Structure 1
C-alpha cells in the first residue's frame, strides 16, 4: 500500500506542458502509459512508443529512446500523447530513469521509478495480543545462573510468551522450558552473531530484546510497548529503562567527500523531539539494551558479526536514517546483581587490541575519519 507521498502528482499546465512530477512507477521490462500531455521525449533506460498508430500519424522513433510527435491539430496531438508508453529495457528491482521532453521553447524533466512490486508481510494478531505478537530474545555466554533467573522471572509475568536464546558458551548446558527455543552456536562466536541467530528465528511481529542478566518485575509491561508501537506504526524501535538507567543518545554525523570520510559523534542523553500523543516518549537515535522492535525492521539492518564482544551503538549506527526510534519513561526491567565470573570477564572486557580493531573496522566500513563516543 502506498502513502500520500508516493501518489501520482501531475504538474498543472502553466506552460503548454503537463507531465507527472511524482509517482509514475513502472514494472521492470513492462509497458506503461505516461500520464499527462507532452510532445518530444528522450530517455536512457527504456524505449518509448505510441500505441495504435494510424496511417498519417506523424510519429518518429517508435520503440526507441527518442520519440517525436507532431500534428497540426491540438485534439489529434492530445489523442496521440494520451497513448505514449514507456517500457524499461534494463532489469532492476528498484532504479530510476529521467524523461526529457520539450515543446517549442519549453523544456521539462520528470522521473520514472522502475520498481518491482513487493509482497506485504502480515502477522495474525490472534488472541492474547502480547503473547501472540511478541517473542523475547536474548544472547547468553557462560551465564546460566543469570539466564535461569531471567527465564523464571519472565514466566512469572508472561507464562506463555515465546523465548528464544542464542548460546555460544564454551561448554553449553541444557536449557529447557515451555515455548522456549535454545540454539547452540560454535563457541565464542560473539555478541552480534548471536543476536542475528536469535532474531532470525522469530515469527512474530515484534521482538523484545533483553540481556541474559535482566529480571522482570512489576514495571516490566510488554503490553505498554505494544500499545505504543501499534498506535505509531512508523516507529521501528521503542526502548525503556534498565532499573533507573534510561540510557539513550543521538548520533551526529557529518558526511565526508570523495577524498576523506565523515565524522560521527554520540551525544549521551540527547533527545530529538517528543513523540506526539505520548507523554514521556521522545525520539532518539539509540536506546538501552531493553527494547521492543519490529522484527522486519531489525532484520533489515542486522547486526555486524565482526563485533564479537563490546558492541551496542553499532546497530543504531547501521540503522541511522532508516530506523525511527523512541525511548519512553515508565517501561523498565530489573538488572540482577553481578556475580564474580573471572572467565566471563576475560571475554566481556577484551584488551586494547580488540578496541583498536573495532575502530579500524568502523573507519573502513562506515567511511569515517573520526569517531567520538
Structure 2
C-alpha cells in the first residue's frame, strides 16, 4: 500500500512539473509576441512620403515652437569643401556655439590639435549655426576665425539648443558631400575631455579593416520623452507622439563608420525630425535596421570624472570640462611618465 502511495505521489509530482514547464513555455511564447507587438506599436515613426519644401509646410504661426524645420535647403555660410582632399582616417565633428571662441581655441591647443597625431590623418571641424542675438557682430568674429583656422562649418539656421539636430545633420551632410571616403566620424560636444589616441588605437585600430554599418557610444535604452515643460529635454506629443524611444547613443559623443554618413543623411530626409538630436539619430538607426555596437565599459563618460592621468589614458571622453580645465590638465596628460 505504501509503495502504491509513493508511486502515485511521484506520478503526481511528475505531472505537476510537466504542467509547470508547459505553462512557462507558453508564457514565454506569449511574452515574446507581446514584446514584438509592443515594439511595433510603441515606435510608430512619423514619416513623410517625400521631403516637403518649406513653402508647403505649415506657416510659422501654426507650427509648434519646438518643431524642427527639416528637410529644408539650409545654405552654408562658412564651409571648407577642400578640407578632405585625401581620405582621412577620422573626421571630428565638434558641436559648438557660434560665439564660443574660447572653447574652440582651447580644443585647438589640446585634444583637437591635428599635429599631435601625425601617423593618422585626422580632420577637425567645428559645427555651428547663426547666433540668435548678436548675429552681425558674432558673424564678423566667426568669419575672421574661419579665415585663420579654416575649420568652421556653418549653415543659416539659428544656433539654439533645440536646433542641435540640425547642427548634427549639417555635419553628416558635409561628410556625405565632401568627405565620403573617410574611415570614421566622431561627433563630440565641445565641453569634453577627449582622448583621441585611445579612440583611434584602442577602439578603431587603423591596422584592421574599416568597419561598415558601425556606430558606437554610450547606449541609452528603455527611455521615453519627458512631457513636462519644466524639463530641458521636454518633447511634446505634437513633436513626438510615441511613449518610448528606440535605443540611441548619448549625444555627448559617438563614433560611426564613414559609410553611415550617407545612410543617416538619406533616411533623415523622409523622417519627421525632432529636437532631441541623439534620439533622432536613434530613430534613423531604427529605420536603417542598424544595431548600436556595445563599447567596452566606461570608455564613453557622459558625466564628469575628476582628472586622473592613468584613468584618462584608458577612456575616450569625459563630459563637463571647461576650456580652462582642458588647458590646465593637457600638459600633464601629454607626459610620458608611466602609470603605476
* Same fold at TM > 0.5: no
Larger radius of gyration: 1
Q: Which structure has greater helix proportion?
A: 2
Could you say which structure has the greater relative contact order, defined with CA pairs below 8 angstroms and 6 or more residues apart?
2
Q: Which structure has greater strand proportion?
A: 1
TM-score by length of 1: 0.40
TM-score by length of 2: 0.43
